[in-house]
A and B are shown apart, each in its own frame.
Chain A
Amino acid sequence: MFRIVRKEALKPTVVLFEIEAPMIAKKAQPGQFIILRVDENGERIPLTIHDYDREKGTVSIIVQIVGATTEKLNHLNEGDCLQDFVGPLGKATETEGKKKVAVVGGGVGCAIAYPVLKKFHDDGAEVHAVVGFKSKDVVILEDKFKAVSSVLKVCTDDGTYGQKGLVTDALKELIEAGNQYDEIFAIGPMIMMKFVCKTTEPYGIPTTVSMSPIMIDGTGMCGGCRLSVGGEMKFACVDGPDFDGFKVDWDLAVKRNQMYKDFEKHKHEETCNLLKKEAN
């Protein structure tokens, strides 16, 4: 069992959990993920590691409350335990040897973009950050980003905060302004990562994306997370999660992620009703 030592609602639907997991904290690298299971009937879900404290032996994740499992997770409090928490999984992001990079984060993906960005920064690169949110009330981690990037552009879809519009527009402006990036790293919803790649491809800037397909074991034994990358079959949990964004078959990846949409919707409603009943 893995104890929640800290829970902090960054926004009403975006919650940080700091979990006691010394073995994972000791090994974790930016770009890696964990798989957790909330309870006995729980499913296994992958979540990227947001932060770790090797001294304290804790690992932090930032979760957007979107479905049954995240709803159940949000029902837990400090001191409660998770049934299972396993990792670190996947390969770490390669950050060494870069002089100037742009990191693009979308929504809760920013929570994951942050450790990668910080690592680029710590490894000596000049880092520009472009982070996008739906609106002002879901903007997270702005101060943390500011501390490790030399340029920070915050965008909101509806213009309620920062620059109005999509991250791709802001990224394009930076590139057009003459910034020579060695690499662009994008993480967020698949559709956002796809369009980041579409934006950078004409400029020929290498673009790495952190993929988030459906996973079960996360150790390479089932292939549920397989992607088509450069025409080859790859398992995101062991070969990734980072891939060359220009080589990913995006339409297939987006569609595969919707495989269980109806089940997920139904399960979410069922869980919400159940949790409501318990609260009464």
Chain B
Amino acid sequence: MPNMSLKKNPMPAQDPNVRNKNFEEVTLGYTKEMALDEAQRCLHCKNHPCIQGCPVMIHIPEFIAEVAKGDFEAAYQIISQTSSLPAVCGRVCPQESQCEKYCVRGVKGEPVGIGRLERFVADWHNANVTAAPEKPKANGHKVAVIGSGPSGLTCAGDLAKKGYDVTVFEALHLAGGVLVYGIPEFRLPKAIVQKEVDGLKALGVTIATDTVVGRTISIDELMEEEGFEAVFIGSGAGLPMFMHIPGENYKGVYSANEFLTRINLMKAYKPESDTPIQHPKRVAVVGGGNVAMDAARCSKRLGAEVYVVYRRGMEELPARHEEVEHAEEEGVIFKTLHNPVEILADENDDVRAIRCIKMELGEPDASGRRRPVEIPGSEFEIEVDCVIMSLGTSPNPLIKSTTEGLEINKKGGIVVNEDGLTSRKSVYAGGDAVTGAATVILAMGAGKTAAKAIDEEISKR
């Protein structure tokens, strides 16, 4: 008899006033009992619409059936057939607009907690199963993957499972891309990312850190001199945007990428880290996406009073609803319908305030969103000693400027066909490098598509 409760089992979490002072994970995950109970809510409907909502098409009802039986390892194996990073995706996917959006239980009541169950299963496996996965039989073909973010890791994992000799080239000193430098510890513990990366290494994937493709080695050299038969570019969209308003170069103005890299990758909040970070008293985070929420919540944890400055209203915030809610609970103050016009500094060039203008929403624009319009004469200053610009990122131009014949669109994204193939023979691309800043799971889906196409191309030779 299924569990007909209209509500999902709630996820235990740290108290907001405790967690806004530490970097430990906010949500604590289901216990075994909660997982068993939640799994009973799945109706195992015939056309399982949830699967269509998952960009990597995990066999959702099948794994949930194993959870309900208490066979968590069997559930893990089912997820692993299609997903390389379940502990990550269970945490950071916007399930409300993917798998759970299509869940039949969501028609009346809340959908099944698919993400929470996926997370539970992956965490259970990581805690309880130490045996290395069986290394697939080598097929003798070499593929290079550029970038170790979600798309690169997924592509590498899928190819390794088919017996390819895969090397992932990463510019930074740690693998994971945005999973290690961008998403904070309190949303995605770095030990979990490391565990997933170790899993790929166990499959035979080589991870070459400290290698900047385009500088240390070029794509042409990889193919002509190093014997790689195909290349997947998953270099992401790491180039931060600024507003180009006066005062953006003053001390205390960060891009969200810099601020988050110092905190997440370099651990600047820990006393033993050699990397410095400003410990601001009052911070303005400019922007309203998930990255802005991450920057705001990190600032809060450094002890600051934090304002999120966003030019549209609360309803228009592009961040996940859950992230906004968490930020509010932790004491982040939202200054919506505000747009910065200038950053002001003292005689030392240290930030002292941000000047904003109030906005109102006008007619919908081409994108269908109501356009923010300035209210004349409404400028005022918010006193802050730190400003974090979180306006989005675009693809880093390094690869395109060092690879001849690679077609790029107006926004700097690499042009690909439906298989992820670029304008260069045997060179594929996916994730943010193609689409501009998007989600982890979309990047994974693109890595998966390209892995399949690469396998088909090489198999035909």
Interface residues of A (CB under 8 A from B): 23-24, 27, 37, 41-44, 68-69, 72, 83-89, 216-217, 219-224, 226-228, 233, 238, 249, 252, 255-256, 258-260, 263-264, 267
Q: How far is the CA of A87 from the CA of B172 in the complex (A)?
A: 11
Listed from nearest, the 7 A-B pairs whose CB atoms lie closest are A221-B238, A222-B258, A263-B276, A260-B276, A86-B210, A43-B274, A43-B275
Residues of B within 8 A of A89 (CB): 212, 215
Instruction: Say whether chain A's binding surface is mostly helix, strand, loop, or mixed.
Output: mixed
Q: Which of B211, B257, B274 contacts A223 (CB 8 A)?
A: B257
* Chain B residues with CB under 8 A of A217: 171-172, 261
Partner of A43, one of B209, B251, B266, B278: B266
6 additional contacts (CB under 8 A) given A23-B217, A87-B216: A27-B215, A43-B274, A86-B171, A249-B249, A259-B278, A264-B276
Closest to B262 in A: A216
In the complex, per-residue mask of B219-261: 1 if CB is within 8 Å of any chain A CB, else 0: 0000000000000000000111010100011011011011001
What are 28 pairs between A and B in contact, CB < 8 Å? A23-B216, A24-B216, A43-B274, A44-B173, A86-B171, A86-B210, A86-B212, A86-B216, A87-B212, A89-B215, A216-B258, A216-B266, A219-B396, A220-B238, A220-B396, A220-B398, A221-B240, A222-B258, A223-B240, A224-B254, A233-B244, A233-B249, A238-B397, A238-B398, A255-B251, A258-B251, A259-B278, A260-B278
Q: Is the interface of B mostly helix, strand, loop or mixed?
A: loop
Interface assignment of B273: CB less than 8 Å from any CB of chain A:
yes
Given contacts A27-B216, A267-B276, contact A221 B239 (CB under 8 A): yes
Residue of B nearest to A2 (CB): B210
CB proximity of B191 to chain A, nearest CB, Å? 14
CA of A217 to CA of B212, assembled, Å: 11
- Tell me which residues across on chain A come within 8 A of B254, comparing CB atoms: 224
Determine the chain A residues whose CB is within 8 A of the CB of B244 once the complex forms. Answer: 233
Residues of chain B in range 273-303 having any CB-CB distance to chain A below 8 Å: 273-276, 278
Identity of the chain A residue whose Cβ is nearest the Cβ of B260 in the assembled complex = A222
Residues in chain A near residue B274, CB distance under 8 A = 41-43, 68-69, 72, 267
In the complex, residue of chain B having the shortest beta-carbon distance to the beta carbon of A36: B210
Residues of B within 8 A of A (CB): 171-173, 209-212, 215-217, 238-240, 242, 244, 248-249, 251-252, 254-255, 257-258, 261-262, 266-267, 272-276, 278, 348-349, 393, 396-398
- Complex Cα distance, B398 from A85, in Å, reads 19
Q: What residues of chain B lie closer than 8 Å to A267, measured between beta carbons?
A: 274, 276
Q: Which chain B positions have C-beta within 8 A of A263? A: 276
By a CB distance below 8 angstroms, the chain A residues around B349 are 252, 255-256
Determine whether the beta carbon of B273 is less than 8 Å from that of A224: no
CA distance A144 to B249 in the complex (A): 39
A49 to B273 alpha-carbon distance, docked (Å): 25
A267–B276 alpha-carbon span in the complex (Å): 9
**Cβ of B393: which chain A residues have Cβ within 8 Å of it?**
221
- Counting chain B CB atoms within 10 Å of each CB, the highest count among A27, A219, A267 belongs to A219
Contact partners of A69 in chain B: CB under 8 A? 274
A249 to B393, CA, bound (A): 25
Most chain A CB neighbours (cut-off 10 Å) among B211, B217, B349: B349
Which chain B residues lie closer than 8 Å to A264 at the CB level? Answer: 276
Q: Which of A72, A238, A264 has the most CB of B within 10 A?
A: A238
CA of A185 to CA of B128, assembled, Å: 61
Interchain CA distance A37-B217 in the complex, whole Å: 20
B-side contacts of A228, CB under 8 Å: 249
With a cutoff of 8 Å between Cβ atoms, the chain A residues found around residue B275 in the complex are 43-44, 216
Residues on B with C-beta less than 8 A from A86 are 171, 173, 210-212, 216
How distant is the Cα of A233 from the Cα of B255 in the complex, in angstroms? 13
- Given A86-B173, A86-B210; A41-B273 close (CB under 8 Å): yes
On whether the beta carbons of B215 and A37 are closer than 8 Å, the reply is no
- List chain B residues, Cβ under 8 A from A249: 249
A44 to chain B, nearest CB (A): 7
Complex Cα distance A278/B219, Å? Answer: 45
For the complex formed, measure the closest distance between the CB of B219 and the CB atoms of chain A, giving whole angstroms.
14
Residue from B171, B240, B249, B276 within 8 A of A256 (CB atoms): B249
Kindly provide the distance from the CB of A181 to the nearest chain B CB, expressed in whole angstroms: 31
CA distance A212 to B112 in the complex (A): 54
Distance in Å: Cβ of A109 to nearest Cβ of chain B: 23
Closest to A84 in B: B173
Q: Do B242 and A223 touch (CB < 8 A)?
A: yes
Chain B residues, CB < 8 A from A85:
210
- Least CB distance from A74 to B in Å reads 14
B295 to chain A, nearest CB (A): 12
**Shortest CB–CB separation between residue A36 and chain B, in angstroms?**
9
Check B171–A219 contact: CB distance below 8 A: yes
**Looking across the interface, which residue of chain B has its beta carbon closest to that of A89?**
B215
A75 to B448, CA, bound (A): 46
Contact present for B398 and A219 (CB under 8 Å): yes
Complex Cα spacing A252 to B393, Å: 25
Residues of B within 8 A of A68 (CB): 274
Question: What residue of chain A has the Cβ atom nearest to residue B401's Cβ?
Answer: A238
Q: Are A221 and B215 in contact (CB under 8 A)?
A: no
**CB atoms of A222 and B398 under 8 A apart:** no
- Hey, which chain B residues are within 8 Å of A42, CB to CB? 274
Bound-state Cα–Cα, A87 to B212, Å: 7
CA distance A72 to B348 in the complex (A): 31
Tell me the smallest distance from the CB of A97 to a CB of chain B, in Å. 22
What separation, in Å, do the CA atoms of A44 and B396 have in the docked complex?
20
Cβ-neighbour of B255 out of A83, A219, A223, A260 (below 8 A): A223
Report whether A222 and B261 are in contact in the complex, using a CB–CB cutoff of 8 Å.
yes
| A-chain residues with CB within 8 Å of residue B216 when the two chains form the complex | 23-24, 27, 86-88
